[in-house]
Amino acid sequence: EAGVAQSPRYKIIEKRQSVAFWCNPISGHATLYWYQQILGQGPKLLIQFQNNGVVDDSQLPKDRFSAERLKGVDSTLKIQPAKLEDSAVYLCASSSSVSSYNEQFFGPGTRLTVL
């Protein structure tokens, strides 16, 4: 079974530029999460999708961050414009709605550096 795929793995941009990250969850997983992990900290939820609907985006900085999950499969996270404090690893995770345990499977992450 293929795991969660993310691209790109690394991205370096200058502040005020735009950037987009892509995530392909495990096949059949209805729930998809985007987390932000700043160096030295634990991951923090940005947004949770159930199929193509948003369940929780309370911690998403909506003035600059946006995310979508068209057709309930792949997802894209965008930052526009980027700030220095957005430098972090962006992790995508997915889980099966059937499981009551909510075991989440994580992708390798995208490491973003904002200069």
Contact positions vs other proteins (CB under 8 A): 31, 33, 35, 40-45, 48, 50, 55-56, 89, 91, 93, 95, 101-109, 111
Residue with Cβ nearer other proteins (17 or 50): 50
> Can you say whether residue 40 is alpha, beta or left, with left for phi > 0 and alpha for psi between -120 and 50 degrees?
left
Q: Least distance from C-beta 100 to other proteins, angstroms?
A: 8
Shorter beta-carbon distance to other proteins: residue 14 or 68: 68
In the bound complex, what is the minimum distance in angstroms from residue 70's beta carbon to other proteins?
A: 21
Could you give the count of Cα atoms lying within 13 Å of 110 in the half-sphere of its Cβ?
26
Q: Which is nearer to other proteins, 17 or 37 (CB)?
A: 37
Tokens of 58: 């309370």
Q: How far is the CB of 23 from other proteins (least distance, A)?
A: 14
By beta-carbon proximity to other proteins, the closer residue of 17 and 22 is 22
Residue 3 C-beta: closest distance to other proteins, Å: 9
* C-alpha pair distances (Å), 115 with each of 76, 78, 108: 22, 17, 22
Separation in Å, CA 97 to CA 29, 32, 71: 7, 10, 16
The token pair at 48 is 């949770």
Q: Quick one: tokens of 64?
A: 């600059």
